Amino acid sequence: MSPLNCKRFFWVFVVAAIIFLTGCARTRYHSPSPSAPPAFEPEPAQNWAAERQSFIWPVKGTLEVPFGAKDEGVTTKGVWMRTPAREAPVAAARDGVVSLVDEKFGSFGKTVIVEHRDHWATVYAGNSQILVGVGQKVRQGEWIARASRLYFEIRKNSKAENPVAYVQ
């Protein structure tokens, strides 16, 4: 990768992170009216241990780039996974509501963000096809996209967490 492309990738990543962390990504794409009932009210988690074990892997495949590793000079806030099949289905890791669908989310390309109870969110990027829309309720295991190589993040209060610690 040329130095110019590295700099461009870095700044696109920084801008995307700022947009996501400040909440701009959520309010720009999905702003329910204050009087509208919540779109999704799952039952609260029974305890911390149950909460940690409530996510599933979105694809069957191999971990290609682990959490916190350098990928093209940038520290990853999630994991990159390679699927065994081309155009493999990507499943929602947990019940939630789709809060962002973007065909060109910075350098990540086609991206889906699902918000879950208790301030959790999951990010699915690098998709080849998106199968859901903003505001759509999804159930754990439901197909939301297709990908050959998937970037997957788990966030708690907008802070990236290592998916390996939360996925069963």
Give the pLDDT confidence of 47-56 residue by residue, as tens digits.
444 454 489 9
Helix (H, G, I), strand (E, B) or coil at 6: helix
Does the pLDDT of residue 23 top 70, yes or no? no
Computed over every residue of the chain, the mean pLDDT equals 80
Q: Quote the pLDDT of residue 135.
A: 97
Q: Quote the pLDDT of residue 35.
A: 47
CATH class of 3-31+39-165: mainly beta
Q: Quote the pLDDT of residue 140.
A: 96
Give the pLDDT confidence of 99-112 residue by residue, as tens digits.
999 998 888 899 99
